[in-house]
Amino acid sequence: MRKKDRYSKILAWFEENQPMPATELHHDSPFHLLIAVILSAQCTDKRVNMVVPPIFERFPEPEDLAGASFEEVYQLVKSVSYPNSKATHLIAMARKLVSDFGSEVPSDIDELMSLPGVGRKTANVIASIVYDKPVIAVDTHVFRVSRRLGLSDGKTVDAVRKELEKHIPEHQRAKSHHWLILHGRYVCTARNPKCETCPLVEWCREYERNNNKTS
């Protein structure tokens, strides 16, 4: 199957069956989403969602977090991965929001990446969810699923991101990020992919290769 056709079939299935995908990270403002995404690095959304309610209550605005002590923030995030660095990043991020951006989460990718704790993936998540920017954030799920399905042969996160953005129409990019993440989280899992119940096997390159080996 040509890559162009693979994209067309897979995107069409998602559009029909999951027309309104959304992030599973709990948040009530762009600032709180930024906190949640920073905390989610190498950590599950489930864990982050358990941790954030008291953080959101204690720090409703960037000014509140900017004035917090490391120990106070650390106590609230200590159950996530890399709590020391994340506590440091959260405080520094809030301070930069206040000093450089008038306490508003910027929409520009480069400006987002200037914030402590924010790399390309986090910036793309915020830009796509909050501002509906036509960008795709590639995490471990998106990377794995894209290569298994045959949507990309990229060997790096950035290579996969560029190929996805090349082939996916702008109006579908923000949704595609969620489609691929959720598919990787619940169906095309890392260790035991649920191929027997996967609705995309008809167009999956990995499934096709495995079947050809055993036939």
Active-site positions read 121, 139
Distance CA 104, CA 152 (A): 35
Beta carbons of 48 and 80 less than 8 angstroms apart = yes
Compute the distance between CA of residue 25 and CA of residue 122 in angstroms, rounded to an integer: 13
HEC per residue, 38-69: HHCCCCCHHHHHHHHHHHHHHCCCHHHHHCCC
Going from the C-alpha of 188 to that of each of 31, 46, 160, 192, the distances in angstroms are 31, 18, 17, 8
Tell how far CA 140 is from the center of its chain: 9
Return the structure tokens found at 51: 């941790």
Integer angstrom CA distances of residue 196 from 129, 146, 187, 192, 193: 32, 19, 10, 11, 9
In which residue are the tokens 């941790």 written? 51
In this structure, the chain runs to a length of: 215
